[in-house]
């Protein structure tokens, strides 16, 4: 018998709008003793059936909906069908790259499951109790849908601990001719970029910024470009390809900066100027020394982990944008991003506007940027629109 979760009165509104999360405070009672990751049947306080969900007893998100259709059975065939649907969605997109997001968690109705493809490697993150419970079925579905690919798991992020799970990195399937120890070279809009699948950020690279990296090329010919939080220098490579006079990369990681130089070499571009330094410190130093840039890219890591630290994160975003405005040459261009899903686009724009005001540099928004099409936004899950970018001139 499937255990049943009964919601408190008035706590079913979001589910009736097909939002897939059920928080612990919305639950009135549980009938049965579901194990972590097991499928439960969710009901309103009046007894209406609402969905099938994965049970997560240690998370504040106590259950995540797999399906809002009572006709579905949550089994191996279910995951094969969902992954095929995600594959079909991407097949019609003109991504101009051999690296893309295959499954985007809730956006593909597979909460807690993220899968990226890098050439013939699939890198997956199983981040929820439900994803962990159905691990074998998910891997089997990937092998059937992508028989040419090897599979690496990079479930080494802190969010797994909130689900009562330990971080893990392991090869789940490897083709005879596949290697994992060296850098994988991917292609993006004709540019080659090296990716460390085992130790790189996220699943190895920030595929969601593909379109934004190409967009910078319109603004960098003959310009001095500052690429802050550069990681392996993707924005800088595209800026150099477009004819930037100089690219300065800022990052705290020596290995990332080394790869940035290799990326320039691979594409036969002038070497960047790399500085291994905290970005906040570097921006302050540039302000004090009077160093200025024509184009600045601010692509920081996620500052907002929870609603509790939203305001402190806003102060961080405001500080770096204020400093960037102060070291931007008159008529220069600022690319600024937030990948924090809990920070709305409206609030992010207000933070940037306040930063420009404090810097006494009123700016014009000339372009808005978002995550790539392979990171789709599902209409019933607004949190899936997490990456916001503004291009400003001032």
| Number of other CB atoms surrounding residue 178 within 10 Å | 17
Which one-letter DSSP state was computed for residue 244? -
Tell me the per-residue pLDDT of 326-381, one tens digit each, with 9 for 90 and over. 999 999 999 999 998 888 899 999 999 999 999 999 999 999 999 999 999 999 99
* DSSP output for 113-179: EEEEEETTEEEEEE-SHHHHHTHHHHHHHHHHH-TT-EEEEEE-STHHHHTT---EEEEEE--TT--
Tell me the per-residue pLDDT of 224-240, one tens digit each, with 9 for 90 and over. 999 999 999 999 999 99
Maximum CA extent, the chain: 70
pLDDT, position 303: 81
Nearest to 230 by CA among 266, 208, 246, 254: 254
Nearest to 43 by CA among 59, 19, 26: 26
From first to last of its 394 residues, what are the pLDDT tens digits of the chain? Answer: 799 999 999 999 999 999 999 999 999 999 999 999 999 999 999 999 999 999 999 999 999 999 999 999 999 999 999 999 999 999 989 899 999 999 999 999 999 999 999 999 999 999 999 999 999 999 999 999 999 999 999 999 989 999 999 999 999 999 998 888 789 999 999 999 999 999 999 999 999 999 999 999 999 999 999 999 999 999 999 999 999 999 999 999 999 999 999 999 999 999 999 999 999 999 999 999 999 999 999 999 888 777 777 888 888 899 999 999 999 999 999 999 999 888 889 999 999 999 999 999 999 999 999 999 999 999 999 999 999 999 999 8
pLDDT, position 96: 92
C-alpha–C-alpha distance, residues 37 and 258, integer Å = 41
* DSSP output for 247-259: EEEEES-HHHHHH
What's the order of all strands across the beta sheet hosting 150-155?
99-104, 113-118, 121-126, 150-155, 168-173
pLDDT, position 291: 96
**How far is Cα of residue 267 from the mean position of the Cα atoms in its chain?**
26
C-alpha–C-alpha distance, residues 354 and 366, integer Å = 17
SS3 326: helix
C-alpha–C-alpha distance, residues 63 and 237, integer Å = 42
SS3 283: helix
SS3 231: coil
How big is the chain by its Cα radius of gyration, in Å?
22
SS3 382: helix
């Amino acid at each position: 018998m499937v255990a049943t979760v009964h919601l408190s009165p008035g706590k079913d509104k979001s589910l009736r709008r097909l939002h897939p999360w059920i928080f612990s405070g919305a639950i009135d009672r549980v009938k049965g003793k579901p194990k972590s990751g097991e499928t439960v049947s969710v009901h309103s306080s009046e007894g209406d059936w609402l969905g099938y969900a994965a049970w997560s007893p240690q998370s504040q998100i106590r259950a995540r909906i797999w399906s809002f259709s009572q006709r579905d059975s949550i089994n191996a065939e279910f995951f094969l069908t969902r992954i095929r649907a995600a594959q079909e969605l991407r097949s019609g997109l003109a991504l101009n790259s051999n690296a893309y997001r295959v499954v985007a968690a809730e956006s593909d109705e597979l909460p807690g499951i993220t899968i990226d493809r890098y050439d013939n490697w699939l890198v997956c993150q199983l981040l929820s109790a439900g994803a962990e419970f159905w691990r074998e079925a998910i891997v089997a579905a990937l092998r059937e849908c992508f028989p040419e690919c090897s599979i690496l798991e990079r479930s080494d992020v802190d969010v797994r601990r909130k689900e009562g799970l330990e971080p893990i990195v392991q090869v789940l399937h490897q083709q005879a001719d596949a290697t994992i120890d060296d850098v994988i070279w991917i292609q993006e809009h004709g540019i080659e970029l090296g990716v460390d699948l085992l130790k790189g950020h996220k699943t190895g690279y920030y595929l969601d910024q593909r379109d934004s990296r190409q967009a910078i090329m319109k603004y960098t010919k003959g310009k001095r470009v500052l690429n802050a939080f550069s990681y392996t220098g993707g924005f800088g490579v595209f800026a150099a390809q477009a004819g930037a006079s100089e690219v300065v990369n800022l990052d705290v990681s020596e290995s990332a900066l080394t790869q940035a130089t290799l990326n320039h070499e691979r594409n036969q571009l002038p070497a960047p100027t790399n500085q291994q330094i905290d970005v906040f410190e570097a921006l302050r130093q540039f302000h004090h020394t009077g160093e200025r840039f024509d184009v600045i890219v601010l692509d920081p890591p996620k500052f907002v982990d929870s609603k509790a630290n939203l305001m402190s994160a806003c102060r961080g975003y405001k500080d770096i944008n204020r400093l960037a405005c102060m070291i931007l040459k008159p008529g220069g261009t600022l690319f600024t991003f937030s990948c924090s899903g809990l920070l709305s686009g409206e609030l992010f724009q207000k933070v940037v506007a306040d930063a420009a005001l404090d810097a006494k540099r009123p700016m014009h928004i000339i372009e808005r940027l978002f995550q790539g099409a392979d990171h789709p936004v599902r209409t019933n899950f607004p949190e899936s629109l997490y990456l916001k970018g503004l291009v400003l001139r001032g």
